[in-house]
Amino acid sequence: MDGLYPEITLYKLIKPLLFSLEPEMAHRLALGALGLSRPLLPLFSPLFTTSDPRLERILFGLKFPNPIGLAAGLDKKGELADAWGQLGFGFAELGTFTARAQEGNLRPRVHRFPAQKALINRMGFPNEGARAAAGRLKELKESGRWPSIPIGINIGKSKVTPLEEAGEDYLESLSFLRPYADYIAVNVSSPNTPGLRQLQEARPLKKLLTALVKASKGKPVLLKLAPDLEDKPLKQAADTALSAGCAGLIATNTTLSREGLPPYAKASGGGAVEYPEGGLSGGPLRKKALAKLKALSQFTKGRVPLIAVGGIFTGREARERLDAGASLVQVYTSYIYEGPCLPKRLCQELLQSEPKSNTKPRRH
């Protein structure tokens, strides 16, 4: 495999250094290095990209060159929007952005579990606010470097905003960021903002999504759901989203479950296992995220596209999500563990299971 993807070998050399650093520091260092190397990306892009009509998808009237997307959370500030397509992604979701600038939760707030290829994070939407993000994206667009792949904008609630005022908060973010969104992802499912998941309940969710769909002025609005919802509230949330006019669903966000993790630490008193607070992503989420995708596919019966995310490391796992009803898939934690050639590897592994006669883009 490394012979086919020589940059994997390079990442294997760099990864121990990155993983010796505090996770957030390593993240910033990697993004900073990518930003500095941006002028060279067109030259090296063939190493990271795969072009084949069998991979193309058409959804929401948008052309996706392949079904592998970058999930929200990695490019939180939208600093590298123009880089992700050159690194092999078929689309990228930026953010999460909030109306108010916020620092996020106290550090340490990211924890690695390398043996399980997992992360626990309780970042809490650190970002400079929607207005600042819009300014950065406006500058990128005016520079002529706007990406050719579809760009999703993920919006969430500011921590300081009371739940009863959440609608106005989301609408403010949308007003700034709508011009730069090919689609809008509504995040009501992060476990790291107190009370946020209450917005998945039918009444507040219907009010929020109806307002956002109206204010989106035709831009597709997608709802991102938690993997911890039981089937009945999951179906209720999906039905609410569709009745409000949402164009699709994203399954799933991170989980509060710690299933699949080893014992982390002993409490000082009772000896019970303690884990870091936050949402779990990566390998241990795979089974639960797939189950929720299958449930949503059954509930929606093909009425809207589904985007699958959570524990996708191989082309076989990506194919499993596509076969289970997803139109697109997203990665985040696997990108950190597997390195920059992951999108290309997933695409080429997907092609191995695609009929060679299928040369037309798939539509939803």
Active site residues: 190
Radius of gyration for the alpha carbons in the chain, expressed in angstroms and rounded: 19
Residue the block writes with tokens 């009501």: 188
Alpha carbon separation from 31 to 69, 80, 267, 300, 347 (Å, rounded): 17, 8, 35, 37, 23
Q: Phi and psi (nearest 5°) for 197? A: -65, -15
The residue type at 165: E
Alpha carbon separation from 249 to 29, 50, 155, 240, 295 (Å, rounded): 32, 26, 14, 11, 12
**Helices (H), ranges, 161-253:** 166-177, 202-215, 231-243
**Conformation bin of residue 256: beta by default, left when phi > 0, alpha when psi is -120 to 50:** alpha
The residue type at 18: L
Q: CA 11, CA 205: separation in Å to the nearest integer?
A: 42
* CB 282 within 8 Å of CB 119: yes
* CB 164 within 8 Å of CB 197: no
Q: Phi and psi (nearest 5°) for 225? A: -110, 155
Residue the block writes with tokens 């993790």: 261
Q: CA 42, CA 51: separation in Å to the nearest integer?
A: 15
Q: Phi and psi (nearest 5°) for 251? A: -130, 110
